[in-house]
Structure 1
């Protein structure tokens, strides 16, 4: 029987082939470039956003940040820009998969090959409930303690394409984050000789950093999510459950917010 202690402990791994100095340097350069192009730069920008919000006259709990926003006053241009943003995130995910594949680590190895209902979708639904329900409580508590901004998940105009676009955003967000922040980063840190626990914390810190624009509550909540998701992947080598869970959480947030806005008092 698997105990909580077993789950919290890193899974045993075969020692990685030692890298020479040139290969280590090349790998660090690759990681740095990938993160500066993607979520590392987002993390730095998010820290500046939090600092700006903290220096504003109004308390954090009286400020609002919107996630999905209109990108043009013209409907078709807005739609086109939304789709370009979605494609960019999917391209980030593809970049991570491609770089791992070029180094001999194919999608099957990281658990991102053909998904299965029992092994991927159902665990993903369970993870979504495990993260999403307590996460809502943490958000409300952080806002009450003035540690978080009001988060408006989606303020897109009510065009015919709003709903499918919100779902596509959720899928693109989940694919990019789980591929790069979990599978790519932890795999590369393993190759550099980092321990499973150290790699896990680095991945979770990255995830928390680029959510700091929401406040300290958003950063901490996503750090905890990163620990759970990262350990799940380390234990199972299945990436699809994380993608499914993340996409479900974001879809419920985006679509649910639009449906409940104006009907629930605690929603901005």
Structure 2
């Protein structure tokens, strides 16, 4: 388990910092995609299947209902983080970085939506919840307590991944990651989280595009 974590972490860091050094501004989505490839390579090498990450068959209606519940839980976590950050600590509101360039720009909106459903919804849920949480939980011996600890552990790098959003943004996304992590510990499946994640990002992107949320 530890070897798998180190391999995937090395891939992510090398690609992220390598592309940044080369002046490529969208290195993180590429790093997430290649890290997912590394995850599947590790699974194949160790004889594990996709179901080990939580990609199990479910009825579509059950996926949708669970996704709605996960999204509500995540929004509650995000709202809590925003209030704590802005009112509790006096931090500025969440920044949107490159996302703010999509205001009124349909092609850019479509491009970010594509990223939202691939490297963000699918890729991040696979890496942080299905892979990292599951491996950390196993390292702590399994069980509910280990699952909660693993949910906290994976939420920290998930929040740091969104550093471009500022301190409030990192707190918000970290708490969303914790909410998704706890949901994964309870459900042991990823599809509802992927749908919830993609839907939340889609709503947010459309709000920024329409000028409802200031860039």
| Mean Cα deviation higher: 218-227 or 131-140 | 131-140
Residue in structure 1 matching 2:113, options 164, 167, 171: 167
What is the aligned length? 201
Residue in structure 2 matching 1:156, options 99, 102, 117: 102
- Structure whose alpha-carbon radius of gyration is higher: 1
> Which residue is 1:180 aligned to?
127
Equivalence map 1:69-218=2 (5 Å): 89-114=32-57, 116-132=59-75, 135-136=78-79, 138-139=81-82, 142-143=85-86, 146-152=90-96, 153-156=99-102, 161-172=107-118, 173-194=120-141, 195-218=146-169
Question: Are the structure 2 counterparts of residues 146 and 190 from structure 1 closer, same or farther at C-alpha, using a change threshold of 3 Å?
Answer: closer
| Cα drift, residue 212 of structure 1 | 3.5
Structure 1 vs Structure 2 CA RMSD: 3.3
**Cα pair 2:77 2:176 within 8 Å, conserved:** no
Alignment partner of 1:234 is 2:185: yes
Q: Give the unaligned 5+ runs of structure 2.
A: 18-23
Q: Identify, as 1 or 2, the structure richer in helix.
A: 2
In the aligned structure 1, how far is the partner of 2:161 from the partner of 2:152? 15
Question: Are the structure 2 counterparts of residues 117 and 216 from structure 1 closer, same or farther at C-alpha, using a change threshold of 3 Å?
Answer: same
In the aligned structure 2, how far is the partner of 1:41 from the partner of 1:159? 29
> Which residue is 2:6 aligned to?
32
**Cα pair 1:39 1:206 within 8 Å, conserved:** no
Q: Please give the TM-score of this superposition, normalised by the length of structure 1.
A: 0.61
**Cα pair 1:40 1:206 within 8 Å, conserved:** no
Q: Please give the TM-score of this superposition, normalised by the length of structure 2.
A: 0.74
